Amino acid sequence: MKFDKVLIANRGEIAVRIIRGCKKLGYRTVAVYSEADRNSLHVGEADEAVCIGPAPARESYLVIENILQAARATGAGAIHPGYGFLSEREAFSAAVQEAGLTFIGPDPFSIEAMGNKSASKIRMIAAGVPCVPGYQGDDQSDDTLVAEAKKAGLPVMVKAAAGGGGRGMRLVHDEADLLAGIQSARSEASNAFGDGQLLIEKAVLNARHVEIQVFGDRHGNVVHLGERDCSVQRRNQKVVEEAPSPAVDEDLRARMGAAAVAAAKAVNYVGAGTVEFMLAADGAFYFLEMNTRLQVEHPVTELVYDVDLVEWQLRVAQGEPLPMTQEAIDARRKGWAIEVRLCTEDPAQNFMPQTGPLLAWRAPAGAGMRVDHGLRQGGVISPFYDSMQAKLIAVGATREQARHKLLQMLDETVLLGVSSNRDFLAQIVAHPVFADGRFSTGFIAEHFPAETISASREPDSLHVALAAALLYRTAADALQASAGIESELLNWQSSAPAAVLFRLKAGEKVFDIKVKALSAGRYEVMLPDATKVIELTSLGAPDLRYLCDGIAGRASFALAGDTLWLSHGGLTLAYRDTTLAAAEKGAAGSDGRLVAPMDGKIVAVMVEAGAAIIKGQTLAVLEAMKMEFPIASAVDGLVEVVSCQPGQQVKARSLLIGLKPAA
């Protein structure tokens, strides 16, 4: 069926990317949105938009009938699923086709054949695609899985058969941890995908994660567009992706590409897909899974091969043959591209997802730079969806050129109001092991343990001094505006300049500082270990220019109430002015109040009122941004009150459980 209008069944950066790809070819576009996304960028970019339900994805983006109704109401002839949500649900592909619409993706059979890791692995073995030894049978009892893990030989990977994204996945080294790992993976898989089926695979340690982009049409053609290296991962979730891979030569690329094409042909694949492999240190590679959709990291392939994969998807969906042969594709490969995923998460708090208002957002722009995002300054990062907000992609003639360009992009990115991993990404890209290209999937765990990340969050004296000077200046500006004081009189005093005491808090760190106004825009900032004279030469949020110790510099800032967000020298911190605040209590939970660390949904409550508990015991589990977070007691004691229940949406800082600490 021919179409001229496309509905995008997704949100955020991928929805914006597809909308722009459609418009490039002259297609009209329809956005769908939840009530939480009413003012989102993708809604404004589309020609038409339809609200499909409340904020929770299960009531909006995951409701097939609501999406089909939106297509019928707007006359859209095709639906593009993006990635995530319904993109790999064979039921969605089938429903779209049964409604007489075009699904811009593979047929239901292909999705079903590759959607279950166990079934797809069996199919790949039959097709001659190299696979990791393990167990992918139907007997899912704990005893069988434990026995098969021992048979494969530890360490093993326990993996959810459905879904992906690192959820429902556990690496088990010791036999004593097997049962707990299996039960934990099953529980997470059931919650994330509604399917607790698991498979066991022999763990290939110190391996690289290398995937091949494949593309098929309805004329029997299947090609590959080289590889992407996605080895830099945290908790089995990709952080950095690049094309080509530093570990792949022409011979290996040809062999991996041929295996990926064989995998796609085994399921009659149509459209864009990715076959993922583990690449061992000895050069052997093993099939992991096939993602039957466009990947998050598709831009690096587009930049290296100078193609538009969304355009290819649209042309193939219209019944056209692939626009290039394998030989023509191979001849186009040029240069290097590296992508990082910009997420609203706090590295200093074990990467806990963050929500809240976006006070400042500015994407870098220039030659060799690409940013895919769905952000709007003044918008709100909600707890209902994934924490990834944008992708920064740099391209260069060589890997080193692309790497330096990416560091520049990260430095020029402004994201304030919500904690992000921007600074952490810059540390990764600047790391000598990453620069050398000799890393495996264990790179982050090995080189960025929690203590290293914490140490990197310590501000230097200039960072703290800038924060104090800014707070002094903004307070003075507010006084001038409210009291109508003439600007030339603002810092006038009848005696020598007096120092003003500030107490600032960043994370758990407290800074006692004195600030003295020397003249308009010039301040002496006295810290316990240093004194800085700072001149604020240009001030216009989010941009700041200053002069200190004879050096002119720049920073970014945003102010919200008593909190100043400051980004300078590769470090972004939120300073809270606690000068007049009451003394704070002890550690979170030590006063007997367990509160929600962020907006989210309660998925489990493990205790009842009257229960005796011990320090460190998990009492409830909160789900936010597709992840689960245990709420543990900081003390021994008794449960006095339980103020939450499974399925309940809670706001950050709301009381979940009240305890009576032991005497």
* Tens-place pLDDT, residues 297-312: 999 999 999 999 999 9
| Widest Cα–Cα separation across the chain | 89
CA–CA gap between residue 290 and residue 110 (Å, rounded): 10
Mean pLDDT of 445-460: 95
Residue 267 vs residues 102, 254, 298, 392, 541: alpha-carbon distances, Å: 19, 21, 21, 33, 54
Bridge partners of residue 113, in order along the sequence: none
Mean pLDDT of 323-329: 97
If one compares 490 and 361, the residue with the highest pLDDT of the two is 361
Mean pLDDT of 434-440: 96
Token digits of residue 594? 């367990």
Q: Where are the beta strands (DSSP E) in 140-281?
A: 156-160, 169-172, 198-202, 208-216, 222-234, 237-243, 271-279
At residue 301, the pLDDT reads 98
Mean pLDDT of 271-282: 95
Helix (H) or strand (E) holding 154: none
Mean pLDDT of 17-36: 98
Query: Residue 384: which of 181, 624, 632, 98 has the closest Cα?
Result: 624
Which residues in 493-503 are b (16+ Cβ under 10 Å) and which e? eeeeeeebebe
At residue 362, the pLDDT reads 98
Catalytic residue among 11, 17, 89, 293: 293
Query: Residue 237: which of 445, 499, 382 has the closest Cα?
Result: 445
User: For tokens 């200190």, what's the residue?
Assistant: 548
CA–CA gap between residue 415 and residue 390 (Å, rounded): 11
At residue 480, the pLDDT reads 62
pLDDT above 60 for 178: yes
pLDDT above 60 for 230: yes
Query: Residue 120: which of 139, 140, 136 has the closest Cα?
Result: 136
User: For tokens 């459980």, what's the residue?
Assistant: 657
* Tens-place pLDDT, residues 245-261: 999 999 999 999 999 99
Mean pLDDT of 180-201: 89
Bridge partners of residue 527, in order along the sequence: 530
CA–CA gap between residue 596 and residue 635 (Å, rounded): 17
User: For tokens 């998990």, what's the residue?
Assistant: 618
Given a contact cutoff of 8 angstroms between Cβ atoms, the answer to whether 638 and 611 are in contact is yes
pLDDT confidence band for 165 (50 / 70 / 90): low
Length of the chain: 663
Mean pLDDT, all residues of the chain: 92
Question: Does 528 sit behind a cis peptide bond, omega within 30 degrees of 0 on the bond before it?
Answer: no
pLDDT above 50 for 494: no
Query: Residue 228: which of 338, 331, 124, 89 has the closest Cα?
Result: 338
What is the pTM for the complete model shown? 0.86
pLDDT confidence band for 228 (50 / 70 / 90): very high
Mean pLDDT of 275-301: 95
Given a contact cutoff of 8 angstroms between Cβ atoms, the answer to whether 342 and 422 are in contact is yes
> How many Cα atoms within 13 Å fall on the side-chain side of residue 388?
23
Mean pLDDT of 386-413: 98
Mean pLDDT of 606-627: 86
Query: Residue 335: which of 362, 305, 365 has the closest Cα?
Result: 305
pLDDT confidence band for 599 (50 / 70 / 90): confident
CA–CA gap between residue 222 and residue 237 (Å, rounded): 28
Residue 308 vs residues 7, 24, 258: alpha-carbon distances, Å: 19, 10, 22
pLDDT confidence band for 104 (50 / 70 / 90): very high
CA–CA gap between residue 79 and residue 91 (Å, rounded): 14
At residue 226, the pLDDT reads 98
CA–CA gap between residue 346 and residue 353 (Å, rounded): 6
At residue 586, the pLDDT reads 46
* Tens-place pLDDT, residues 108-152: 999 999 988 788 888 999 999 999 889 988 899 999 999 999 998
pLDDT confidence band for 202 (50 / 70 / 90): confident
293 catalytically annotated: yes
User: For tokens 């695609």, what's the residue?
Assistant: 129
CA–CA gap between residue 631 and residue 616 (Å, rounded): 9
Given a contact cutoff of 8 angstroms between Cβ atoms, the answer to whether 270 and 466 are in contact is no
Strands 28-33 and 5-8: parallel
